[in-house]
Structures are given as structure tokens and as C-alpha cells.
Structure 1
């Protein structure tokens, strides 16, 4: 009876990715009327939730901190696919789409997800506790790669505009890949204990969950369904992207708002998983998800898009404007002050959320 109940509860996680892929096949290349856009959006949200579930199953099987990498890499695949497809179809106005999306991802992860996680964790247990060594290393890597990829192009002189020359872009892409590789090796091999969850008393927790991990067969099934859900998310998002772009234009918003919409969409699984972990007193897992996703977003997206510029019909604009550089600098400074003590109160969570709010306000009204 219990097995049957569990099967019925999990059935939606199997049905939604399959139905979403079927809907994708039926609507691919078709101009969507309003009612169909609404239907596709509902299945898109369902596919995202299914992806969260299956990524958490795999994460439970492999354990922390490996589990945090699963979702981070998964959402980066979505992000890269969306950016490349939209740049291929968007013309000159999409030249800054990669920059806008990656910067939006950095602000959402380093301020939105981090702020929510600290707020949930500290409100539940007065103080949110995490490992300063691992979190600090992750933040330093994110800050370095963001500076090399998004700030330097504004000040280089080899190419007109906030763009890298070909050798500079190759260096930035290679540096991002190497630093991401070092980050993953540090997180999963040499200093794995720096990224394990800690309790409110500061004790390291090897097992983040009390439930028995899923079987290898269940984990493999979730891996396949996760891949199916990600395909559905990418395809359905591509299908509704013209509606998103026309809606942004009709609202009188700058084109950079499209990047925010993409980042919000692909980071929804990370946000849900991070808040759940913080609610279970696993704030370190939440920070692993947030900063790991920021690192994957820059460290994998920039090299992938740089490679795609070989055949993309538009130039790649990466340099940030002055207001965004100020927000990035504030994020790094505030993040450093948050991480150093290894403990946080609701105040720190509120400060990070305020920075995210400032970014959204400036995106709507530059």
C-alpha cells in the first residue's frame, strides 16, 4: 500500500516531462496564439518543477557537495541553449543578451538566492550557520570570473565598444573554464569538507538527509527524466520567447529585461531547492547551490557563447555599464562581509535582497 501511494505521488514527476516534450513536438515552429502560449507556459513551469524533483533525487543519491553540482550544471545547460538560440534569431539587438543573462544570474544567485536562504535559515533558528572557508572560496572565484568576463571588456581598447578582441575573448573563456575546473575539484575532492552542511552548533553533517538514499536504478531513472525535463524547458522557453520579447517591448522596458526573464526562468529550480535546504537547517547546501550556480553560469556560459560566436551572426558584447559595475562591486563587498563570520542573521539576508531589488528597479528604469 505504501509503495502504491509513493508511486502515485511521484507519477506527476514522470508524466509532466513526457507530456511537455510531446507538446514541444506539436508546437515546434508554429506561431502560438494566446491560449496556446498560456498552455505552453503552464507545462514549462511543470517541467521546471519536475526537473527540481529529479535533480534532488540524484543529489540525494550522490550526496553533498556533488549533489549541488547536478542542478547547477543542469540549469547552465538551459541557460546556454536559450542564449545561443535567441542570439541566432534576434539580430543585432541580441548582441548583449549573454552579458545581460549572465549578470542577471549573478545578481539573482549571489543576492536573491543567498538572501532568501540566509533569511529562511536565520528566521527558523535565529542564526544561519555555514562554512566560511568553502563559501568564501566560492565567492572569491565568482568575483574573479565576473570581473574578468564582465568588467574588463568595458575598459579594453583593442575593439570599439564594451567588447573583447578575439585573443582577449579566448583568454577570458579559457580562464573561466580553468577556474571553474579548479572550483569543482576543490568542492568535490581536495576540500570536500569545506562544502558540507554544518549544524547550528557548528558540527559538520556528512548526511544531509535522514531518509535512505534512492537506489541506483531510481537515480538513473531520475537522470533520464531530468534530461527529458531540461529538453522540454529549453524547447518550450524557445517557443514562448517571441511572446516574452514582444511583451518586454510593449511594456517599454529595455531589451536587457529579456536576460532577466531568462535568468529567472532557469534559476527557479535552484531557488526552490535552496530555500528547501535552508528550511531544513542546511544553509551550506543552499549557498553551495547559489554560488555554484553563479560559477557555472559564468564559467560555462561565457566559454560556450564565445565558441558560438564563430558562427553567430551578431557580435558578442560583454562589458557592463557603470550602474551594473557598482552593483557588482557592492555584491562582492557585502558578500565578503556576510561570509567571513560563518554566521548570519536576518539582517544579512535583507541586505542581499535589497541589492537584488535595486538591480531590478534599475533594470526597469535605468
Structure 2
């Protein structure tokens, strides 16, 4: 059991009021709030060891380098990567996916196929579409059902010797569906395809074991798991990272430069051109430490309890429909109320201090499937409470009355 009040005291923003009402923050799928230890770690870097990394012989540069590489090691341990150099620092999930698609531009050719799921965020659709335009490869879509689950029989039928890449999110940002990625990875590998997993929505709720999953790439963002914005990780198997060309050229990613020829640095620096977000990388390690201290098993149990409670309470509201009713879900609920636009509900409950996300959640194909303009999305974290859910339900009822 989590000591929720003790945990909530770690997050300064949760004690403030919005529009004169206590803040109820249910937009964790967009970004998580930050504990004081993370905020302090960011300030501590700039106050005590601010310097560029890897290239300096002076003390501050060495201290900054050590802290940055220590954080890389924390990520390696957290996701169970085989080698630290398989862990690349990025600015976020989108950066990681684009790094991979850029690399595959030199590998794919006309006739090759990329499988993407119907549940993807735009960040895991658009880069692959751009790659297909460059290479002549074909993008094929793994369909979903009315419950918001991928149809595995259709996936199996789509796989062939032409399939070169399969890309799917671990957890849907719009519906909360937890996809059977272990099964999907095994099936993809059986036809020789590489697999990229978009883990942006998974890492706040669980610890991915990339060796057990056997995925080729796993991308996620730091800001969704109590870390700073502008931080992220791309895990890639050593063999794949050695095979792909660099994403950007510049300082740090080179071994030797002449006007005749440039040779590239070894992993991971080959993919980390220029001065990185040093403070962000270091502080991401602090955030990972914080969440591991709380414990992901305890986080999962608490969030599952919130999910079940919120589902029950929301379904008490007449005319409310939940989208995404699969058997395996994270703590995300997308819903609408008959005859009322989701934006209108979101705007009114904001006046009552309730922060939710409204719209298509960068997942327009999902909304098109359900023939809706968008949803109201409440996404819960380990620092949320049942009392906050009650406040949201009462706010939604009030908004429904005002708008009916």
C-alpha cells in the first residue's frame, strides 16, 4: 500500500488551487507532475556542476560527465538493457522514433512493408509515412476492434517475408489499451522483421524488460515518468545501432574529421551529436530512482484500483460512454457524454479545478474509427486519489446539467 498523502507532499504543484478550487490533475498521459527531489536536482546541477560533458579535462566537466553517464547506467538497469551503450539520450519519444526511421531510409526499398497499428499516436505514424515516401515501402495497418484492442488474427495475416518493420505502442495513449507486445515481437521476428515499441505511455506504469521482450528498439519520454521535459531514451540492440547510419552530424558523434572523410564515434555517441540536455539527462536518473523507491508493483496496484473505481463512478452518469474497454488497460479512461462536445465538458470542469485532456489526443485514426471528434481523457497517476475521482465525477455531472 502506498502512503498517498506522503507521496502527494512530494509534489508542490498538487497543493495549489486552480480557479479557486483545489487542483485535481488528471492529465498525466500528457505529462506527469514533478516531485521536489527532481526539481531540486535540476537546480543542483546548474548551481554546482554546470559544464559541458565528455570533452573537458577540468573538474566540473568531469563531474558533469560522470553524473550524465551514471544516469545512462540507471536507465540501462531500469530497462534491463544488455549494454549501457544501447541506451541513447534523446529529447523524447518522437525524437527516438525519427532517429530510427531516418536510419531505415538507407535500408528499405520498394516492395518492403512496414506494419503500424491502428492505436498509434501520430508520432508513431507520420515518421513511418515519411519513410515510405522516401523509400517506396508500403505502410500497412494492424486493425482494432470495438473494444480498442488490436486484432491479432489480422496481425498474423499481415506478416510476410516482405515485412521489414513492425511498430506498435506498448500502451495506447488515447484508450489505455495494453498491447500484447511480447507476442507481436516474437511473431515479427519469425518473419525477419525488426520491431520498435513506443513506450511513452508504458514507462509511467511499469518497468519494461527489453531483453525479455526481445524488442529491437524501445522509445520513451522522461517527462511522463516524473522527469523533466525535453528528455527521452531510445534503446536499441547493439547490432541494429551499429547497422544504422548516424541521425545527425556534428560534435561528439565523430572519431576523426578531415575534409576528405569523417569517421564516426562508437556507440552511444554516434547518435548523440552536439551538446545534449545535460541537466535533463542527469535529472531523468533522479526521477527513475524516485519511482523505483516507491515501487512499480505498488504503483500498478494503486493505479489499477483507481481505474476500477473511476470506471464504476463514471458509468453512473447517464449517457456516458467509455471508449477503450479491453481486458488489459492502464489507468486511462476516455469518455464522452451523449450530445455534448468533449471540449465543452473539459472547459467547464477546468473552472472547477479539474484538469483533463480533451480532443483527439494525437490519435485521429482512433477517433475516426469510433466516428467521434474526440474524447475527454482522464489519466491517473500514483499520486491521485479516489476523492479526486469523486470531485471529477461531480464536476462532470454539473457540466452535463449546464450543457443539456
TM bracket (short chain):
under 0.3
Q: Using CA pairs under 8 Å that are at least 6 residues apart, name the structure with larger relative contact order, 1 or 2.
A: 1
For normalisation by structure 1, the TM-score amounts to 0.22
For normalisation by structure 2, the TM-score amounts to 0.21
User: Whose Rg is larger?
Assistant: 2
